[in-house]
Each structure stands twice: as C-alpha cells, then as structure tokens.
A and B are shown apart, each in its own frame.
Chain A
C-alpha cells in the first residue's frame, strides 16, 4: 500500500466538504477503488479469498466517520465477490461454479447500476452521507447474504454438488425476506441450470455429458457389454453406471435411484441397437419444492422402464427362456437327463481332470437332439473344480459376512454387489481349501447357458450360479437314484447276494442266504424311498409352487428392476426350501447320500470276480463270508437309519423358525416318515 498520504489535510476542511469527499470515497470504495480517506491494506497474494478490510482516516469528523464505517461491509462484500468471480470462472472449477460466477456477475452489474444511480444523485447535489446510508442499507444487506454464500463456498472449496446444496439451502432459508430470496433464487437457478441440463440429457437420452465430473451418475467405460458373458457377477448392470453420492444434490437425493435407473434403461435399449426418437424432452427447472421436479422425472422413468420391459419380454422372448432354464436346469421334464446320463456315464465317472470337456459337450448335444425346446442351443456344459458343498459354503459365508444375518437369503441386489466384492468367484477357490479332493466328473459337472444382450442383463452370472447350484444338487440326487435302481436291477436279475464260497454250500443254508438277500433288499428299498421322496419333494413341492408364484408375479411386473427382484426371489425360495442354504441340514443330507452311494457300489461289486479293476475309487474290502456280509449290511442299515433320524429331527427343529412361511420342510418328514418308522425327537 502506498503510504497514507492524504492529498489535502482533511482536518482543515469543513464538515460539508468532508462530507462530500467521504461520499465520493465511499462510492469509489464500493467499486473497489481506494479513496482519499478510505484505504485498504493489500491482500496477501497467496490467500486470494481473504477479507478486505477498509480503514477510514482518523482526521475525518467522528460522526461522519461512524456513519461511513457502517457502509464499509458493503465494500468488503463487493471485493470478495469480484475476486470469487475471477477465481471461479476458470475451467477447473466445474460448470456449476462457472454458472454461479456468471450469475454473480449479473448481480454485480445490477450493483453497478445502483452505484451509477447514486452518482447521478451526487452530481445533482442530492447525495449526503445520510441519504447515501439510506439507499445503501438494503443493498448492503443483500450483498452481505451473497458474500456469506461466497465465503462458505470458499471455505469449503466447494465444487459442484456442494455448491448446489448450499445455494438451495440458502434460498430456502431466506424465504422470509423477499429481496434476499429473489437474489438467492436467481443464483440458485443459474447454478442449477448446467446441472439440470446434464440431468435432462441423461433421463431423456441416457447419455452423460459431463466434462468436469460433477454429475451424480458416473459411467465406467471399462465395463463393456461384450464382457458380460465372461463377467461372473452382474457387474455390467451394477457397475457400468454408478450413482455417485458425492455428486448428488440434496434436492434430487430422494429421486436418485429413479434417475439412475431411467438412464440405465435407456442405455440398455440403445445398446440393443434400437433407436428411440419419439420423446419430447421437457425442460427441467430449478425449484425449491422437490415435488415439482418429481413429476417429469417420474414420467421419464416410467417411459424408459416400459420400453425396456416390452423389449425384453416381447422381442427377446424372455418368458420362453425362463421356461427353457427351468426345463434344463431344474429338470422339470426328464427326457434329456436320462438319455444324457446313459451315454455320458462312462466319461463322467472318470476323474474331473482327465475328462475331455468337448466330448461331454458333444454327448449333451446328442442327448438334446430329441428336445423340441427352441432355445436349447444356448446350453453349454461347465466343469467346476470345486464341489457343490464348497460352492454353497462360499456363497453362504460371503453372504453372512456381508450381513445377511441368520436369514441367509440371497435376494437383494445390493447384497449381490458385496457378494462379489471379494474377488473373482469362479477362478480359484479360496485358499482355505487346501483339501484338493479329486473330484469325479459327476461331482464337477454342471450346465451353463449362453445368452446375448439384452437377455444377459436378466439371465446374468449371478442368476446362473443359483441355477447351477440347484442343477448340481438335483443331478446328484438323480444319480444316486440311478445307482440304487441299478442295484435293484442287479438283484432282480436273479443274482442272489452270495459270496463265492456260498455257491458251493448246500441248500440247508438257503434260509440264511435269503436273509442276507432280504436284508440288502430291504435296505435298498428304504434308501430308494428316501431318495425318491427327496426328489419329489424338491420338484413338486418346492420348485413348482415357487414357479407358479413367479409366473403370477411376472404378469403384473412393470419394470425391469421388479422383474429382476421376482426372479431372485424365485431362486432364493427354491434354494432355501431345498435346504441348500442351511449348512447343517445340507451336511446331514450329504452324509446320507454318501452312505447310499457306498452301499450301491458295494452291492454291485460283491458278486464280481475278485481281481476287479483297481482304477475305481472305492476300495472296499469285500466280505468273504456270509456273516461278514450280513454284518456289513447291518452296519449300513444302522448308519442309514441313524442319519435319517438325525436329519428328520433337525428338519423338525428347523422349521420352528424364522420364516414363518409355509412349513414346507415338514412335508419331507411326512413323505419319508409316512408310516412312522423313524422315531425322532420332534416326530409326531
């Protein structure tokens, strides 16, 4: 600052003259120029946003000085605003700040007009300090409010959404005093304009035009729809367009999900190559009332979701594809599965690592040859390198970690994002399995379904994993049923259960022979009964009713998200009611199955010549005498009964519980224990 040198020794001027000078000075100050009496220290170069203070020379008459001092805040405000505009007009601050700076410039222009009017008054000789104060006071008040806004923005170094929030809040808070309200409203409207333009482009065209990253929806260009088939989770739908909470102004917060979905649907439609031109774009205007904005947003949302839904249902035959999935993954008609098991049995019995995947694929194609389903060509096979139990455990563990609670339901899509947040699910099992069991082909086999956009939005990996789990389970149970049926055939063909020594004995021991045969037959029958009833339960009492509910729900669906929700619900219900989500029950069932398998394999090998091929995995010591055979069967029987009782017990306890829905599980008990042969704690 220059040294404080008044041009004239003011103390010597008269009050009248002093008044004239101070009035002139004030007018200059309001324009940001130092006057004769009023000086200001220069601001530091680093802190551009500091307050500018003004000092009045002491030689001024004290009364004048006091009155003048009251008007100084106006000058500070002006200075602050000018510097703000200069700063914020730069590109890096984003569109909102630019617009705000422009609006502030408009405010300043009106201010300059005001000053010009004052000058005119001054030239006419009508401007005393008092009249100056009279005119200035209201203006000062408004400018002060604006300066507060500017100060707050500077302090937080705010960009984009925070600026909008601030302005919005200020507008709402000033609704009492009309003039400040008008100014704030004007500022807010201007600042919101670029943001609302971006919003319009998004909800009417699905395009984001956001050069400075201020919009609430960010596009992740890395996620392409071509990778969708390889994506293990619903990354595309979930991650391509993401809601950025930091960029969501409070005004739009309640509608942010809807806004996101509108644009997503439009994009999905556009990606399918359909060009939609029949829309009228309604302009969005800033308003202090949220409800006013809600209406056009709602309309746009409804429109977009309707189109996408129609597209998916009608052009791409989504409903028929659901039927296909049910047909093949949930084995609702047995035609292909029996044929496939027959021809692929040999190959699948081998260890999973040496199976030739293409061969199985070719065999599947042969088995599917007789089906008339139009969408069966997209079926593929998949060989997992971990078995069903590990798969389920993984899914359930992750779900529990993500806070799914005891409910272990896997429905909502938000939990799906956290489900796969822990990395790629399909590639390698987690390091907590060092077990490395050698899986046979049967244990690792599953189907897969290949779909293109936009069906891949709905039949995505997330959904397919659940279908695959159900399929593997059903397949396994069916396999066991087959084994037991083979045992039945084996017995039926007159090969009575005897050992080699046995064949040489006389008929006196026939009575005992029959005992062994009978015992084996009885056990086989029990096992078969259990397995078949389990299968019937799953097919008829779980899958069919849930499917029916699903179909009914589909009839009244209005947008894609609801469709996805109902689909997940269907699968979740099926998984839950087939006991796949309950680790304890599942383990019990698995043990039962293992017993059945062991029994069946043993029965098939009892009567074979002793040097059988050593490449089979079961190495049972075959009984060489009748007693040991009998004992073995007895063991099997008691094991089986115990396990089954435990299972039924567990089921009856289980169902007390959480869901309160239909007590489906107890139906298993009714089926299996129809004649009360198993006595367990919770049994009737």
Chain B
C-alpha cells in the first residue's frame, strides 16, 4: 500500500544518501556512474528508484561533476608560480568542501535529500564560480583573468574569488618587490612582465636588455605603473653594471600587501610603494650621473666644442687650419690637423678646461670623395665612455657630426665674408689712384655688405634661435628629468629639433632650402675668388704703372696700348662677372626667402622676415 511506499523511500533514502556522499566527490559507486561525455553524472541503478528521487539525486550530482572538473585542474601539470598558488588555493577550497560534506552527512544528525538543498546551495555556487575559471593561463595573464572574475556583483562570487586572487598575487608582488629593490628577476616560468634578454651585452643595457612583456601585465596595474616599475629595475641594473655602483638603497621597508595591488581604489599602499622606490632609485642614479660622471659638464662641453660655443677656440682653429683645409680632401691628414688643434687648445681659453674634457676632444675625418675639399670632411669629435655612452649613442654622434659640419660651413662663410671685407678696405685706399675702378669698388662694397649681412643673420639665427634656445630647453628638461628615460628623450628631442631647424632633416622642403643655402654659399665663395682676381689685376696694373713711372714715362704708346688692351678688357670681364654674380645672389636670396615662408617650422618662418626686415628683397 501507500504506507509501504513511503517507508520504502525512507530506507532507500539513507542508502541513497550514502551513495550520494561518494557521488558528491566524484566517486563512482554501484549505483552512480560517471558519464563524462554528458553534462553530469547519472544514476543507473538496479533497484528501481522513482523518478523524483532520481531527479533530486541528479541535481546534487552536478556538484560531483564540478568537483571532478576542479580536481582535474588541480592534477594537471602546472608551470609557474602563480599557477601553483592557484592550484594550492583550489585544493584548499576542495578541502573546505570535504569538511562541509563531513558535517552535513554526519551519521547522527538527520539529513534528507530535501534538506540537502539548504546545505548545498551555497557550495554548489562556489564550485561553479571556481570551475568557470578553467583556462589555465600563465602568470600575469592568469591574474588578469581572476581579476575579471572578481568584478562581479554577487557578494558570494566576490568572496569566493578573492582569496584566489589574493594568494595568486603574492608571487607577482614578490617579483615586483625583488625587481624594484634589487633589479633581479627571479622568474623561472616567464610569468613576470619584465623580461631579460641575457644575450644583449652591457653597452645596450638600457635600450634592449630588459623589455616589457605586455601580455603579462595584470589588468589592475596601469600602463604607467608598469612602466615605472620597469624603469626602476632598469635603473638599478644600470647603476650596478655600467656605473659600478653597488650601494644598496633601502627603498621599501615593508612590501605592500597583495590586496592593495588589485584594489587600488581603496588603498594607495602599493602605488605609494612603487612611486617611492622609483623616486629613490632615479634620484640616486641622477646623483651618480651628475657627481661621479659629471654628466652636465659633458653636456656643456659638447655645446662648447661640437656646437661651436667656445668662440675663441673655434676662430683660432679656423685660422690655423685654413690653409690645410683648402687642400683637396685626400691630401688632408689627421696628424697635421691634430697638431693644429692641440696648439689651438693651448693658446685659447680652452686650456683652462678640465683635463678630462680636453682629452676627449678629437678630430674625425669623414669619408672622402674626390671632389671635396678639406673643409667638408673635417669634424670635431667628443669621445665618451661608460654610462654616458648610453646617452650619447653612436646615432647621436653621427647627428652631431652632421650638425658640426653645417655649423662649420656657416662659420667658414662668415670667415670668408670678413676676409673679403678686410681685403676691400685694405685695397680701396691703394686703388684710389685709379679712377676707373671706383664704381666697381663701390659695387663690390655693396655686394660684400649684402653678403655679410646675410651670413650674419643666418649665423645669428643658428647661434641664438636654434642653439641657444634648444640648449635652454634642454637644460630645463634635464633639470626636471627624473629618470634616465626622460634624460634620453630630452637629448634626442633637442637634437631632432636642431636638425630640423638647421634644415638637415629629410623633409622635402628642408632639403630644398638646404640646397638653396648651399647655392648661396657657393656664390659667396665665387665672390671671394672674383675679388681676388680683381685685386690681382689691379695690382698688376699698379705694378705696371709703377714700372712706367720708373721708366721715366717713356713709351707712352705702349703704356696706353697696355692700358686699353690688357687692363680695360680684363676689368670689363670682371665687372660683368660681378654684375652677374650680384644678380644671381639677389635672386638666390629671394628664392630662399620665399621658400622659408612656407616651411612648417615657425622659427624658420621668423627667419624669413628677419632677413628681409626692411623689405629689400622684393618680389617684383
């Protein structure tokens, strides 16, 4: 009858519960089979259980299935500290689960299938949330995954994932602390977001040895924080290896607790820790660079010598080297020039420089092609070593050479125009006895003034607007720079700017302008040779006249003939050449100005109206 039915169920219930206890731990029994293909374990029993009981039992067996899944994750091989922590946590979760089962299935206490709902609803949910973190990734990526899972509104899920996240963060936190305190990476499984490439040698330590593994940056750290951590460690290594400085900085007293890594909105402990480590380390590095390696002194020295800051030295050098450099490039030899440079150093203010700086000054001769003069191939060089080589890399050295070349050329133009003027002044007095050339001299003076003015404006522009401005920018940036990265950037930026403003960059407009400028400079050199020719002719004339005078004014015909057939035509050719030169020069300058007006850089545009301040060069 009906009563028996019920009774039967109760007996069965105890048996069923016993079986269920195993099933909940994923163990197969006589009545419970695991069906790994389907979505759950099923009961296949020989005794007939009614449908409802079966349904109830199957419902709870889902827990068993989840349990199995987690067990499998635990048993799979783990590579990585974070994964190990993860797995350890999973094990402790399961241990908790066992304990619960032990309490619930206590043989003395009454429990029934229905009451199991009460006990198992929460654990089931916990198992579900843990089992859903099924992808086993590595290191920082696993942390990001856990963090995403923790961003859940359900407080149960939050509290389930929290201990996982906490414990898994500990190894990463330790790695971070080790890195920012000692610059060492203890990362056997490549889980950390800073990686080291041991094959790179020390020269390129800063640039290439340590790189940022972005996939391993946990999502709760910002890019900025990751970068600061990276730079801190790099700086420590830089100090140790290149600066040979082994002072241990006490940057971190107590490492920040792990939850401050992923709960940054509630506490800034972690952030403070890395910021203070960063500050301390970079401050120390800066101090070492400034005091032990005199970085700022070298910057200043480069400005003085490579960027022609030390005027007296440069002028004297040019005076001494002029003769040598006028030779073709393949006849210019290093030892000759070097001895000239040494004598220049001894004579000018450069002798009061520090020993260290002087011995780094050197000459370099660039690659020679047949048509060039010595002027084009000779460069000053400044040798650096040690940690400063990181700041002034080979690339930078090349850039400096190009800049120097350009500056040297402009200076040479200045030199030339001064020379021309000197000659003109000297000779105008002597030539006053020959009336035919007065207007020619006047023209020459005019052209010389124009050219002088042009060269001086360009020189002023270069010296003050380009070099001085970029220098003061660089100084202020260096003063504000906290870490080596910023110093490098400041240096690069200033060099780039100088290159653009000196028309040395690859921009099409700049190249056109540079060509035009070279054109103008060639014209100036032509003018120099023309005036030399003029003086020679007139000198010959004067000599001839003197001769004539000494010959007691004999042979007047011959004299007149000479005058008309030799002197006058020569004069005429020179005159026409000078006229042509004048026109060409003016046209070239006009073209140059027009090109300047459309250049994207603003200081070059200013140059255009400065050069033409009184609108002398007008478009007709």
Contacts and interface: CB of A to CB of B under 8 A. Distances in A.
A95 B117 contact: no
A99 B155 contact: yes
B153 A205 contact: no
Question: Which of B114, B115, B122 is most buried by chain A, counting CB atoms within 10 A of its CB?
Answer: B114
Nearest to A357: B605
Contact of A98 (B56, B154, B265): B154
A102 B609 contact: no
B37 interface: no
B594 to A, nearest CB: 12
A28 B121 contact: no
Contacts of A219: none
Contacts of A34: 51-52, 55
A95 B122 CA distance: 19
A231 interface: no
B39 to A, nearest CB: 14
Interface string B118-130: 1001100100000
A263 to B, nearest CB: 13
Interface string B1-25: 1110110000000000000000000
A113 B118 CA distance: 6
B152 A91 contact: yes
A213 B602 CA distance: 45
A101 B55 CA distance: 24
Contacts of B393: none
Interface in A346-393: 356, 358-359, 362
B268 to A, nearest CB: 8
Interface string B127-151: 0000000000000000000001001
A116 interface: yes
B156 interface: yes
B425 interface: no
Interface string B152-172: 111111000000000000000
Contacts of B597: 356
B395 interface: no
Contacts of A116: 112, 114-115, 117-118
Contacts of B56: 28, 31, 33
Q: Is the interface of A mostly helix, strand, loop or mixed?
A: helix
Interface size class of A (residues with CB under 8 A): 35 or more
A18 B1 CA distance: 11
A33 B152 CA distance: 30
A576 interface: no
B469 interface: no
A124 to B, nearest CB: 11
Contacts of B52: 25, 28, 33-36
B347 interface: no
Q: Which of A16, A102, A120 has the most CB of B within 10 A?
A: A102
Contacts of A31: 56, 114, 117
Contacts of B153: 94-102, 193-194
B606 interface: yes
B555 interface: no
B118 A102 contact: no
Contacts of A112: 114-115, 117-118, 121
Contact of B112 (A20, A89, A100, A119): A119
Q: With a 10 A CB-CB cut-off, give which of B56, B125, B152 has the most chain A CB atoms.
A: B152
A102 B3 contact: no
A363 to B, nearest CB: 11
A209 interface: yes
A223 interface: no
Contact of A21 (B2, B55, B156): B2
Contacts of A21: 2, 5
B616 to A, nearest CB: 15
Contact of A17 (B1, B112, B156, B609): B1
Contacts of A17: 1-3
A105 B125 contact: yes
Interface string A92-129: 00111111111001001100110110011001000000
A13 interface: yes
A102 B2 contact: no
B2 A211 contact: no
A97 B152 CA distance: 9
A226 interface: no
Interface in A109-159: 109, 112-113, 115-116, 119-120, 123
Contact of B265 (A193, A201, A358): A201
Contact of B122 (A13, A89, A109, A113): A109
A574 interface: no
B605 A358 contact: yes
Nearest to A362: B606
Contacts of A109: 118, 121-122
A207 B1 contact: no
B51 A105 contact: no
B344 to A, nearest CB: 39
A7 interface: yes
B609 A359 contact: yes
Interface string A500-527: 0000000000000000000000000000
A14 B114 contact: no
Interface in B41-100: 50-52, 55-56, 59
A8 interface: yes
A280 to B, nearest CB: 13
A435 B121 CA distance: 78
Nearest to B56: A33
A653 B608 CA distance: 54
A428 interface: no
A101 B154 contact: yes
Nearest to A104: B154
Interface in A375-429: none
A169 interface: no
B114 A119 contact: yes
A27 interface: yes
Contacts of A120: 110
A358 B117 contact: no
Contacts of A16: 2
Nearest to A116: B115
A24 interface: yes
Q: Which of B6, B114, B153 has the most CB of A within 10 A?
A: B153
Contacts of B114: 27-28, 31, 112, 115-116, 119
Interface string B300-333: 0000000000000000000000000000000000
A91 to B, nearest CB: 7
Nearest to A94: B153
Please indicate which of the listed interface residues A33, A105, A211 has the most CB atoms of chain B within 10 Å of its own CB. Answer: A33
B605 A33 contact: no
Interface string A3-41: 000011000011011101100110110010111100000
A358 B606 contact: yes
A20 B9 CA distance: 13
| Most chain A CB atoms below 10 A, which of B157, B265, B609 | B265
Contacts of B118: 109, 112-113, 116
Nearest to A108: B121
Contacts of A100: 153
Contacts of B265: 201, 205, 207, 209
Contacts of B122: 105, 109
Interface of A: 2, 7-8, 13-14, 16-18, 20-21, 24-25, 27-28, 31, 33-36, 89, 91, 94-102, 105, 108-109, 112-113, 115-116, 119-120, 123, 190, 193-194, 201, 205, 207, 209, 211, 277, 356, 358-359, 362
Interface of B: 1-3, 5-6, 50-52, 55-56, 59, 110, 112, 114-115, 117-118, 121-122, 125, 148, 151-157, 265, 268, 597, 602, 605-606, 608-609
11 contacts: A21-B2, A91-B148, A100-B153, A102-B154, A102-B156, A105-B125, A109-B122, A112-B121, A113-B118, A356-B605, A358-B605
Given A105-B125, A105-B154, 6 more contacts: A33-B56, A34-B55, A97-B153, A102-B153, A109-B121, A359-B609
